[in-house]
Structure 1
Amino acid sequence: MALMITDECINCDVCEPECPNSAISQGEEIYEINPDKCTECVGHYDKPQCQEVCPIDCIPFNPDVRETHDQLMAKYLRLVGSGKK
């Protein structure tokens, strides 16, 4: 699964710089996560870094974007240029 940011987001700006895939960006009202870039930090860290730093725990798993660990690793490899499309 990719992650998502809920409307409880307070725009504190701590999650965006922590994302190793640049999947987080400022939306119209709150930060947003691009599911095409989110690997839940697979390939980079053991835990999603945005969840680790979020002061209000508003970054749950996105139930609409379900992916296995292998799929997340394949996405990571594509994003860093080491995998085949």
Structure 2
Amino acid sequence: MSIELIPGRCEGHGVCEAIAPEVFQVDDDGMVHLLPGGDHEDATALAAARSCPVAALRATS
């Protein structure tokens, strides 16, 4: 599985970053970014993606 970012959907809530800060970062512009080198297939990262309140992140296979 991997994580897909859906452009334009992020509202900057930061739930994903709070759960997996080594994978996600919400910048000053209020948009989430996947950090390079983070384990995007880690169970915690996938759970963080699924926790997005606006479904801006999707765990894909």
Mapping of residues 3-82 of structure 1, within 5 Å? 3-5=3-5, 6-19=7-20, 22-29=22-29, 30-41=31-42, 45=43, 48-60=46-58
More strand by share: 2
1:22 is matched by which residue type in structure 2?
E
The share of aligned pairs that are identical, in percent, is 16
The TM-score, its normalising length taken from structure 2, stands at 0.64
Equivalent-residue separation in structure 2 for 1:61 and 1:35 (angstroms): 17
Equivalent-residue separation in structure 2 for 1:8 and 1:33 (angstroms): 14
The structure having more radius of gyration, on CA atoms, is 1
2:27 is matched by which residue type in structure 1?
G
What is the CA RMSD across the aligned residues, in angstroms?
Answer: 2.8
Unpaired runs of 5+ in structure 2? none
Number of paired residues? 58
- Tell me which stretches of 4 or more aligned residues in structure 1 moved more than 6 Å: none
- The Cα of 1:27 is off from its aligned counterpart by 2.6
After superposition, the Cα gap between the structure-2 partners of 1:46 and 1:23, relative to the gap in structure 1 and judged at 3 Å, is closer
The TM-score, its normalising length taken from structure 1, stands at 0.50
The one of the two structures with greater contact order (alpha-carbon pairs below 8 A, sep at least 6) is 2
